[in-house]
Chains A and B, each alone.
Chain A
Amino acid sequence: TQLLEQSPQFLSIQEGENLTVYCNSSSVFSSLQWYRQEPGEGPVLLVTVVTGGEVKKLKRLTFQFGDARKDSSLHITAAQPGDTGLYLCAGYSWGKFQFGAGTQVVVTP
């Protein structure tokens, strides 16, 4: 049983479109991280959110931590082919980060 559920599992969009991916759990996390993993590479940290309701922006990426610290969303504005990758969320609880299964995002030119 996975602690974190990510949706959708797969998302294919055209360049210039917006997208949102979700990370949900019934558990409360001290913090939540988002990583992007490209084919043949390891995950790379994008952001850490700590406070309930927190919003962080990283260029065209907007991350939000739910008020109850159980869920998070990642919104990409005007997606580009370079945004293609597997987006993983990881919640911190019980002394370790638990990862979701990821959302595979494909942005076509």
Chain B
Amino acid sequence: DTAVSQTPKYLVTQMGNDKSIKCEQNLGHDTMYWYKQDSKKFLKIMFSYNNKELIINETVPNRFSPKSPDKAHLNLHINSLELGDSAVYFCASSQVGMSSGNTIYFGEGSWLTVV
């Protein structure tokens, strides 16, 4: 069983469209994250939720809206997609909130290409 699973794995869409990426974790963790990895492999945190509550919200355009219906799910909705949104988006989870000794478990990534 995949610990952190996200769908779709690949997504090609046109500029201006709205799309969602879904994420589920079966590890029983309280905290979930969304990261963005750009073409230079730089991995940057976007959002963090702890028990459905938003904890970390980095400087991300408000076209990106995370939603956590329960602590096992964290979905990412993106409005009015732009070319610069093309990247790999990783969902992740950890046992407790982000702390110095935590292990972050990543999903396999969702490869978004905006054309």
Residues on A lying within 8 angstroms of B by beta carbon are 2, 30-31, 40-45, 48, 50, 86, 88, 90, 92, 95-97, 99-102, 104
Contacts and interface: CB of A to CB of B under 8 A. Distances in A.
Interface stretch (B13-21, B59-67, B70-78, B103-111): B103-111
5 contacts: A42-B107, A43-B90, A88-B41, A92-B98, A102-B41
Contacts, number: 55
B43 interface: yes
B98 A99 contact: no
B23 to A, nearest CB: 11
Given A42-B92, A45-B105, 17 more contacts: A2-B42, A30-B100, A40-B108, A42-B106, A42-B109, A50-B100, A86-B41, A90-B43, A92-B100, A95-B98, A96-B45, A96-B98, A97-B104, A101-B41, A101-B42, A102-B42, A104-B41
Given A30-B100, A42-B4, A96-B98, A101 B108 contact: no
Given A41-B109, A42-B4, A43-B106, A99 B92 contact: no
B43 to A, nearest CB: 4
Contacts of B42: 2, 99-102
Contacts of A40: 108-109
Interface of B: 4, 40-45, 48, 56, 90, 92, 98-101, 103-109
Contacts of B43: 43, 88, 90, 99, 102
A2 B43 CA distance: 10
Which of B41, B42, B44 has the largest number of chain A CB atoms within 10 A?
B41
A31 B108 contact: no
Contacts of B99: 92
Given A31-B101, A42-B92, A97 B106 contact: no
Query: 5 smallest A-B Cβ distances: which pairs?
Result: A42-B106, A31-B100, A30-B100, A99-B43, A92-B100
